[in-house]
Amino acid sequence: MVFEIARKEFLDLLRDGRLRWCGAIIAALLLAATLVGWRSWREVSAERAAAQTEANRHFDEQEEKNPHAAAHYGLYVFKQKPSLSFLDPGVDPYTGVSIHLEAHRRNEAKDRPVRDSTAIQRFGELTAAVVLQVLLPLLVVFLVFPVIAAEREQGTLRLLMSLGVSPRSIVLGKLIGVTAALGLIVVPAAALGMLVLLAGGFHSERAWPHAPILGVAYSLYLGMFVVVSMAVSARCKSSRHALIILMALWIMNTTIAPRFATDLSRRLLPTPSSLEFQSSIGTELKAGIDGHHVGDERLERLKSELLAKHRVDTVEELPINFEGVALQASEDFGNEVHDRHRGRLEKTLGRQDTLRKALGILFPTLAIRELSMALAGTDNDHARDFADAAESHRRKLVRELNRDLEVNGAGLGFMYQAGPDLWRSMPRFRHRPQELPEILTRQTLGWVSLVTWFAAGIVLLNGATHSMRVD
Amino acid sequence: MLLYTILKYELRLLAADRTLAVVVLLLSLSVGYGVSNGFAWTEFQRRTLATAAREEAGRFQELKSRLAAPGSRGVPADQFGSTLGTRFAGLPPGPLAALVIGQSDILPYVTSITTTDHPSLVNDVEIENPTHLLTGRFDLGFVVVTLYPLVILALSYNSLSADKESGTLAQLLSQPVTLRTLLLGKVAARGLVVIGIAVAISVGGVLLTAGVPSGEKLVRLLLWLALVAIYGAFWFTLATLVNALGWSSATNALTLAGSWLLLVAVVPAIANVVVRSTHPMPSRVELTLALRTASDRAHATGPRLSSRFLEAHPELVKGAAEADEFAVQSLAVQEATEQGITEILEDFERQLSRQQSLVDRFRFVSPSIATLEGLQDVAGVGSARYRLYLSQVASFHDHRRDYFRPRILRKEPIEANDLDDLPAFAFEEESLGSVAGRVGTALIGLTLPTLVLAVMSRSVLRRYRIAGY
Amino acid sequence: MLEAIELTKTYGDHTVLDRLSLHVGPGEIYCLLGANGAGKTTTINLFLDFIPRSSGTARIHGMDVAEHSLETKRHLAYIPEQVNLYGNLSGLENLSYLSRLGGRTDLGTDDLLEFLSRVGLTVDTAGRPVRTYSKGMRQKVGIAAAIAKRAGVLLLDEPTSGLDPKSSNEFSELLLMLRAEGVAILMATHDLFRAKETGTRVGIMKHGRLVASLDTSEVGHTDLERIYLEHMHD
């Protein structure tokens, strides 16, 4: 019985010309978006990898100079493209991709790709993620809104029930039929995604556990739309009414909620302007140790401590290079100031993220957006992780260079010079993206939202099935 | 007269229906939220610009008293030019900026101008949560481009089909009324309500955020209203055409929702892909590396560059017996470095202006693109205005450098009385004429498809089946 | 008065109305009888110019309805099986709208209430939204619209089907009243009883053709049913 209904529903949907067109358009867009995403991934990741190699070479091939001068010259590090970013580029275009690591200061990531874009960038990009998050749910709404409501309108529901078909089998049959029709788009798309992933030249070991989990998340999301739409169709008197309710739900989720969340979190949790932020750091730094001016009180204290420790009278007699110690002390102080300010800012930004994730409980599209970006490695957290990794590398690099000055440059002051051997012995920048468990725990709210909505949809549908009216 | 009767009763019908109340309420709430967000953002920008100006003034004041003190020997020109005398070049929010945020959250609006760094390489971006940038803001521009069509479609997707389905259509048409007059009356009633509200709310938004407009602002406001009205007319005409095809209300709703999604989201997104892949931007990553390569090379060949630099710029050393060797070398290195990347920088500009002209052509494909760009232009957050700002910043930078270079070479320090001669940056607003010209094109881009749809509806309506098979 | 001369409607090869000729003068009620699909509604729709004719002529007050579509509608009123009105407006507002569209902008509220009371709707009822009305009450608003318009021609498409006997009877009374005022009435119906009671003439249609036309005064109730069934037989 259920199978018969499913078959009828499936064939009905396939015969509907409008839906065939919608489905074809969406499938074509999904295909195009995936291929465009893959192509740009290939170009960008090749470029970034090459850029990192060249930046390393720049650093290694410096002439003989004081290690601190090398620290000022610094090193550029570039954010590498994660494999799944071809499906969901997320915030990647909106975050800086390169960071200049140099002595004394923590630089912001720069070269946001979006800086060079036209006004239509504001309409968003065509990515596989957008098709899956926005367009496919609309197709689901279009497919599902009439399945029960229209039968009620036409009186065929009355007919079916008079034949002794239980509401349960009707709903179940239709659910299977609709899902099968949707599968005609989703399954080939998933297969294509898999194919691209396997043959596209990715570091597949980083994509492997993520991709199937991403698939689960999207299945939950789309499944939620199917179940909720079905429940609405079962409850509504007319199919027009069902369509209006579902369209409203879709618009709220995909169009209004994201921007609403943006401005809400900006208002509730404001961030300082860049100018304020930098100038408050600058003021604090100025008040503290400055390695270049040996008149500072704290520096004097450091000096007398060292002299006492080594039981000598002048800096020149020290078995180490005092400049190296002083520079590192200034570095440590600067880091502390930066950490404090940066920590405050990051806390605010993190709260904004949490607010958005919390709103995801109300609007599942917000939840899937965050989940998808997190699994693709293109969310705020990943951008922040990259910046943090770069910063800790900067500290390590500067410390090692200062240390070399301190240990090997005894008695030479700033006259000490080191060569390429030292540059080449410096640690390499390697950024390992987050591990899966961490990604998943950071996105707990997203999973809660999707599962809750899915479950609520089933409960709703169940309720509607039990109390189904014939007209 | 007849049209007036239809209009009056349609308005009465709309008023009796809950839909109108709900829709108007939602529209008003969105507009209120949008305008207040835009206003908060412009205030934030103004505060930041004021902070920058205060910091700059304070720094100059302090410097002046230091230089005026007896025994001061001035500040070396190179030190002044590169750090102490840094000027902020700010882009003030546009005349009606509270209405649209546009790209202003992505593009830097304060640039610090020194003699050393080329302004297009300065990275003064505002702190912002990246997801916010990705999503975009809930401003009036978003409400007009995206939500306003939805309101129109929600009110008019069944303007004719509902009457046909309920049978009132036959009743009305048994009176001496043509279908065309009837439909016109229905559309006019809805148009009056929605466009009227949109216009009233826009005016209210301007009054609240920018005060009573006069002169140039008034013209901009009028252009804004024209865009809103014609964009609304486009969607009404589309709804009319779909109704004239005589489908059921549900089919109309599906068709119109699909068209909305296509025109507001899909076509612009495709346009974005097309624009970016036909005129790809050079990569900033490449630029960063090229800059470093050029600077390394210039540093390595420093001494040779110095003599070449002096040969190339005899005017700079004129009068100075012997130029400071270190200063010459650093200027020479700076110039050589910049020369190393001019090509890429020019490539950036070239590609961006190509992209822009392609986008301009896309205005005729998607009314949403035309409207968004038009609204941004009117509000004063558009890309043309931004390019104007960049070019003013560049020439300000060049001016300053021309001032400082000879002084650096001649080892002439900057003294107290010099400080007053140094100009501050002031953005010169783009001319109303060029704004009106671009918006005029956008209006044409909106009017053409509206007319085409209107003509189509007229001819389709002739085949409308009131009864029968 | 209204008349059809050789009025024909075809859809491709399918003829739904075949050379219909009839004439209804002032004070006459012509009842069209026939099975579903016999062409009754098509005839009414042709007189309303809701569908284009294939050949022949339909005239109202001597004017061709296809050529003078709007002009002829000034003189007619139409009452279908279900008089469809705006549920959110009151009976009075609906009537006011329809009569204004019909060109009677001179009528005040009192006039309209007067018409409504003539068809049996009280002032109290007239102010209520139409969605609360019964089917019979809606039909009465339709009649009131015809009165308000001073329509010389009334086109009725199965107006009494689905009405309870009392409402049906009230409706017939109203028709007789209009007939007495000299209105020409064309009514498609299944109700042989009402056709005999109120009609002056009866036409029987089959497969788009008028197969019989009788004067009701000439036949009794049982005769009409017999004649009708005979025609339906083959």
Q: What is the ipTM of this complex?
A: 0.89
Q: Using an 8 Å CB-CB cutoff, list chain B residues near A113.
A: 281, 284
Predicted structure pTM score? 0.89
Q: Using an 8 Å CB-CB cutoff, list chain B residues near A119.
A: 102-103, 359, 372-373, 376, 382-383
CA distance B98 to chain A (A): 14
pLDDT of residue B315: 65
Average pLDDT over chain A, rounded to an integer:
86
Q: Using an 8 Å CB-CB cutoff, list chain B residues near A121.
A: 103, 106, 272
CA distance C198 to chain B (A): 24
Given a cut of 90, whether residue C186 has pLDDT beyond it is yes
Cα–Cα distances in Å, from B8 out to C93, C96, C98? 11, 12, 13
Averaged over A144-156, what is the pLDDT? 87
Residues in Cβ contact with B112 at an 8 Å cutoff, skipping those fewer than 6 apart:
B86, B87, B88, B89, B122, B124
Given a cut of 50, whether residue A440 has pLDDT beyond it is yes
Would you place residue B468 in the very low, low, confident or very high pLDDT band (cuts 50, 70, 90)?
A: low
Would you place residue B322 in the very low, low, confident or very high pLDDT band (cuts 50, 70, 90)?
A: low
List all chains that touch chain B, counting a touch as 3 or more CB pairs closer than 8 Å: A, C
pLDDT of residue B300: 79
Give the separation between CA A348 and CA C227, rounded to whole angstroms: 91
For strand C63-64 and strand C76-79, is the pairing parallel, antiparallel, or unpaired? Answer: unpaired
Count of CB atoms situated within 10 Å of the CB of A277:
18
Give the separation between CA A378 and CA C16, rounded to whole angstroms: 67
Give the separation between CA B132 and CA A258, rounded to whole angstroms: 9
Give the separation between CA B262 and CA B258, rounded to whole angstroms: 6
Given a cut of 50, whether residue A37 has pLDDT beyond it is yes
Give the separation between CA B292 and CA A59, rounded to whole angstroms: 10
CA distance A241 to chain B (A): 9
* Residue from the list B37, B284, B351 with its beta carbon closest to the beta carbon of A111: B284
> A262 and B136: CB-CB below 8 Å?
yes
Phi, psi of B67 (to 5 degrees): -75, -30
pLDDT in tens, A279-312: 888 888 777 645 444 446 677 777 777 777 777 7
Q: Which one-letter DSSP state was computed for residue C102?
A: T
Would you place residue B285 in the very low, low, confident or very high pLDDT band (cuts 50, 70, 90)?
A: confident
Among A83-92, B2-11, B14-23, name the one with the lowest average pLDDT. Answer: B14-23
> C51 and B5: CB-CB below 8 Å?
no
Largest pairwise CA distance in chain C: 55
Give the separation between CA B221 and CA B157, rounded to whole angstroms: 30
**Which one, of C142, C104, C141, C109, lies nearest residue C125 by Cα?**
C141
The answer to whether B21 faces chain C, any CB pair under 8 Å, is no
Chain A residue with the nearest C-alpha to that of B271 = A120
* Residue from the list A32, A51, A271 with its beta carbon closest to the beta carbon of B128: A271
| Chains B and C contact (Cβ–Cβ under 8 Å for 3 or more pairs) | yes
Residues of C with CB under 8 A from a CB of B: 11, 41-42, 45, 48, 50-51, 69-71, 73-74, 76-78, 80, 82-86, 88-89, 93, 97-98, 100-103, 105, 129, 142, 155
Taking the mean position of all CA atoms in its chain, how far away is CA A39?
A: 20
Given a cut of 90, whether residue A461 has pLDDT beyond it is yes
Q: Using an 8 Å CB-CB cutoff, list chain C residues near B170.
A: 48, 50, 78, 80, 84
pLDDT in tens, B197-227: 888 888 888 887 777 877 888 899 999 999 9
Given a cut of 60, whether residue B170 has pLDDT beyond it is yes
Give the separation between CA A360 and CA A353, rounded to whole angstroms: 11
Q: B 132-171 residues with CB below 8 A of A?
A: 132-138, 142, 146-147, 150, 154, 158
Token duo for residue B337: 């470095």
Token duo for residue A182: 């949707």
CA distance B240 to chain A (A): 19
> A111 and B287: CB-CB below 8 Å?
yes
Averaged over A311-322, what is the pLDDT? 74
pLDDT of residue B406: 81
Would you place residue B317 in the very low, low, confident or very high pLDDT band (cuts 50, 70, 90)?
A: low
Given a cut of 80, whether residue A390 has pLDDT beyond it is yes
3-state helix, strand, coil in chain B (%, to 5): 75, 0, 25
Give the separation between CA B255 and CA A18, rounded to whole angstroms: 9
Q: Using an 8 Å CB-CB cutoff, list chain A residues near B269.
A: 123-126, 130
Cα–Cα distances in Å, from C126 out to B11, B259, C110? 20, 42, 12
Q: B 257-316 residues with CB below 8 A of A?
A: 257-258, 261, 264-266, 268-273, 275-277, 281, 283-289, 292-293, 296, 300
For strand C2-11 and strand A98-101, is the pairing parallel, antiparallel, or unpaired? Answer: unpaired
Given a cut of 70, whether residue A442 has pLDDT beyond it is yes
pLDDT of residue A175: 92
pLDDT in tens, B405-452: 888 877 788 887 888 778 888 899 988 999 999 999 999 989 999 999
Task: Give the 3-state secondary structure of chain A.
Answer: CHHHHHHHHHHHHHHCHHHHHHHHHHHHHHHHHHHHHHHHHHHHHHHHHHHHHHHHHHHHCCCCECHHHHHHHCEEEECCCCHHHHCCCCCHHHCCCEEEECCCCCCCCECCHHHCCCHHHHHCCCCHHHHHHHHHHHHHHHHHCHHHHHHHHHCHHHHHHHCCCCHHHHHHHHHHHHHHHHHHHHHHHHHHHHHHHHHCCCCHHHHCCHHHHHHHHHHHHHHHHHHHHHHHHHHCCCHHHHHHHHHHHHHHHHHHHHHHHHHHHHHHCCCCCHHHHHHHHHHHHHHCCCCCCCCCHHHHHHHHHHHHHHCCCCHHHCCCCHHHHHHHHHHHHHHHHHHHHHHHHHHHHHHHHHHHHHHCCCCHHHHHHHHHHHHHCCCHHHHHHHHHHHHHHHHHHHHHHHHHHHHHCCCCHHHCCECHHHHHHCCCCCCCCCCHHHHHHHCHHHHHHHHHHHHHHHHHHHHHHHCCCCC
Given a cut of 70, whether residue B371 has pLDDT beyond it is yes
Percent of chain B with pLDDT over 90: 26
Among A17-21, B218-222, C151-155, name the one with the lowest average pLDDT. Answer: A17-21
**Which one, of A110, A334, A325, C86, lies nearest residue B11 by Cα?**
C86
Give the separation between CA C177 and CA A135, rounded to whole angstroms: 61
Give the separation between CA A389 and CA A99, rounded to whole angstroms: 11
Would you place residue B316 in the very low, low, confident or very high pLDDT band (cuts 50, 70, 90)?
A: low
Would you place residue C37 in the very low, low, confident or very high pLDDT band (cuts 50, 70, 90)?
A: confident
Chains A, B: CB pairs < 8 Å: 219
Averaged over B84-100, what is the pLDDT? 89
Which has more pLDDT, B155 or A306?
B155
The answer to whether B25 faces chain A, any CB pair under 8 Å, is no
Given a cut of 70, whether residue A380 has pLDDT beyond it is yes
The answer to whether the CB of C155 falls within 8 A of the CB of C42 is no
For strand C209-215 and strand C14-24, is the pairing parallel, antiparallel, or unpaired? Answer: unpaired
pLDDT of residue A362: 94
> C85 and B168: CB-CB below 8 Å?
yes
pLDDT of residue A264: 93
Given a cut of 60, whether residue A28 has pLDDT beyond it is yes
For strand C184-188 and strand C153-157, is the pairing parallel, antiparallel, or unpaired? Answer: parallel
